Amino acid sequence: MLRDDYSYALEVQRTDQTALGQYRLTVDWGPAMEWLKLRALGSAPGACSLRNARVEPRWHPQLGEPYVGGVRIAADDGPERELFGDLTTDYFQPNMRAVGRALVEQQQLKVGETFTSKVVAFPGRRETPAGLGLRLAVDELETPVPLESGRLAEHLERSRPLGDEPEGDLPVFVPQHVLREAAALTRKAEANETGGILIGQLHRDPAAAGLFLVVNALIPARHALSETAQLTFTAETWAAAAAALELRRSREQMVGWFHSHPARYWCGAKCPAEARRQCPLNTSFFSQEDCALQRTVFPRAFCVALLVTNAYAGLRYALFGWRGGLVKPRGFQVLNPTGVLEGEVAVRAIVGGQHEKNCG
């Protein structure tokens, strides 16, 4: 359990400083805890038995209390060792977007109107409803994360980077054959979205005491409901993926997913060629639905998402992953490269952060 002795709210103003009020926030600290667990795994393999997990605001350096400048999340990782991490107010962005949507629905803001906001925190633990008089004691059990032993330097020698990997990001290796399989599925699907499950292994380098992720294969999403602007993974999709994973018997796990955006089919037939090339739909972006799936199915901090955009100018590849509790675009390493990928020039520009979007 995570101890949170504060209640959080969003103080909202129009750009002309007109106050729109304070709106209480229900903050999901799950992604932040997963981020902390991954940091602990880097130094100690096996289950992450973090104890006395707690979160507390860091006050704004200029405005002071109750204005939040960041958040510290901490836990005990041993008898005399505290593990902690500091989050910026970016962590509240999903809450900010939800408040913005609510204000539009209440007609306090117009669609597209901008607003400014500040996060505030007040002492007072959130109360859990007692329900129907039933009290349950719940013990949270940690599931051990399978870790393989591997040498980061050896993998780097057999790969080349695509995009910049910010310092502190978990190194991720994606074989070129996986990228090409994803590209083939994307082209075959034409105007509909397609997808699949990425399977692989989390490695720990015993010499460097660091972690890195290796994607081994792509399992196509069978029985998925595919439309031009939506892909739905069904129960049969997950069952088929789990069965394929079991057949491999390679100590692998589901480490992420892949899906495509058929952007070239989203543009109208009468749209001029130059307008199509500059259309924002041709860029790589993660939608709120994509973020929801990532949070629900792949919440662990090492999980990633591969996106192939079938743009007007050709295929674009991008990888998204967790950073500080938010899903963000990131660079990666192409493992065992055998030539230039279609769209590789585009991917170098995209994963550098030009189209960065955060979500949780």
Percent of the chain with pLDDT over 70: 84
Tokens of 55: 């979160």
Give me the phi and psi of 178, to 5 degrees please: -70, -45
Q: What pLDDT, in 10s, does the model give residues 228-250?
A: 889 999 999 999 999 999 999 88
Distances (CA, A) of 303 to 65, 111, 327: 35, 34, 10
Spell out the residues 6+ positions from residue 257 whose beta carbon is closer than 8 angstroms to its own: 195, 196, 197, 198, 233, 293, 294, 297, 298, 305, 306
- Cβ 336 vs Cβ 271: under 8 Å: no
Strands (DSSP E) contained in 206-282 are 210-220, 225-226, 231-232, 253-261
Q: Given a cut of 50, is residue 90 above it in pLDDT?
A: yes
Mean pLDDT computed over every residue of the chain: 86
Query: Please, is 282 exposed, middle or buried when counting C-beta atoms within 10 Å of its C-beta (0-12, 13-18, 19+)?
Result: buried
Q: How far apart are CA 342 and CA 116, in angstroms?
A: 41
Instruction: Indicate the pTM of the whole model.
Output: 0.85
The pLDDT of residue 132 is 44
Instruction: Determine how β-strand 6-14 pairs with β-strand 115-123.
Output: antiparallel
For residue 354, give every residue at least 6 positions away whose Cβ sits within 8 Å of its Cβ, in sequence order, or none: none
Backbone φ, ψ for residue 307 (5° rounding): -120, 130
Element (H, E) at 53: strand 51-59
Cis peptide before 175 (omega within 30 of 0): no
Mean pLDDT of 331-338: 93
Mean local confidence (pLDDT), 191-213: 92
Residue 34, both tokens = 């997963």
Is the pLDDT assigned to residue 121 strictly greater than 80?
Answer: yes
Of the candidates 73, 61, 67, 68, the residue with the CA atom closest to the CA atom of residue 89: 68
- The confidence score (pLDDT) of residue 353 equals 38
By mean pLDDT, which of 88-102, 130-144, 171-185, 250-264 is the weakest?
A: 130-144
Higher per-residue confidence, 141 vs 293 = 293
The whole-number average pLDDT for the span 252-267 is 92
- pLDDT, residue 210, reads 87
Confidence of residue 2 (pLDDT cuts 50, 70, 90): confident
Parallel, antiparallel or unpaired: strands 332-335 and 210-220: unpaired
For 284, the enclosing helix (H) or strand (E) is: none
Report which of residues 317 and 343 the model is more confident about.
Answer: 317
Query: What is residue 151's DSSP assignment?
Result: -
pLDDT for position 20: 93
Which domains does the chain show, CATH number per domain?
2-123 (no CATH), 147-354 (3.40.140.10)
**Higher pLDDT pick, 17 / 63:** 63
Interval 301-319: pLDDT, tens: 999 999 999 988 789 899 9
